[in-house]
Amino acid sequence: MKRYRVKPGSRVNLNDWDADDRSAFDFNKQDANTRTESLRARLEELQELLYAEHKHKVLIVLQAMDTGGKDGTIRHVFDGVNPQGVKVKSFKAPTRDELDHDYLWRVHPHVPGKGDMVIFNRSHYEDVLVVRVHQWVPEELWQRRYPQINDFERMLVEEGATILKFYLHIDRAEQKRRLQARLDDPTKHWKFNQEDLLERKLWDDYMRAYSDALSQTSTDWAPWHIVPANHKWYRNLVVASVIVETLEGLTMQYPEPQKGLEKIVID
């Protein structure tokens, strides 16, 4: 999975990253789905261990263009995990109250506590992406947010968090196909938003904004992974592999049981 990890200090140009890539695994779709199912079962075990040990905190950040697969990734990768220890937070347009505070004010209350895994569906990165593309704040403002975000994430890591950030990378042709599929299927009309077409016209601007964000904020303590996401089954396999590998690296253990349990007889 290291091939998809953005090396800190490197310069990202998303035009150089193949959204159709499937080179990390020699699997067909069926075999990949079987492997993902196995990883999902392992993730369920590791998440239970994370919750029981009550020591580590895990934050997973998902970013993507519209139709990029954030919801699908959550549904397929995290299916079966205990909802008691896993939370999903979606960040929409900020409220008036949130706009009256600094841009990280609304984010901090939702970071994971000990034993928790939190998934951000969109995140604080919207404040260097959509606000930049639409010129809602001056360049001087969003430019200084890169080091602020790095410092914020460093603080979370120093306080015991593990942060994994995934950019789900689709190309423009795949987005067109997915938008059209929503139009063609009446059961998916509820997912179609005409504003997505306006955002699509800004594709090149978003690619520049994402390229800069990935370049400026992939750090040793909170790395980005650029996940080829044109093929949903491959996207799920990559994300599940990175998460399981990372959790296994935490060398977690169940807490020591109370003494004398072997003598207990339940009537």
Neighbours of 132 (CB within 10 A): 23
What's the confidence (pLDDT) of residue 191? Answer: 87
What's the confidence (pLDDT) of residue 206? Answer: 98
Distance of alpha carbon 88 from alpha carbon 58, whole angstroms: 12
Residue 163: which pLDDT band, with cuts at 50, 70 and 90?
very high
CATH for the 2-250 domain, from 3.90.580.10, 3.50.50.60, 3.40.50.300, 3.30.70.20 = 3.40.50.300
In this prediction, residues 122-131 reach a mean pLDDT of 97
What's the confidence (pLDDT) of residue 151? Answer: 98
What's the confidence (pLDDT) of residue 104? Answer: 98
Task: Read off the pTM.
Answer: 0.94
Tell me the one-letter amino acid at 208. Answer: R
> 168: part of which helix (H) or strand (E)?
strand 161-169
Q: Per-residue pLDDT tens for 249-264?
A: 999 999 988 788 778 8
Q: Per-residue pLDDT tens for 63-87?
A: 999 999 999 999 999 988 888 889 9
The residue extents of the domains of the chain are 2-250
What's the confidence (pLDDT) of residue 196? Answer: 87
Q: Per-residue pLDDT tens for 89-113?
A: 999 999 999 999 999 999 999 999 9
The tokens describing 21, both together, are 């890539």
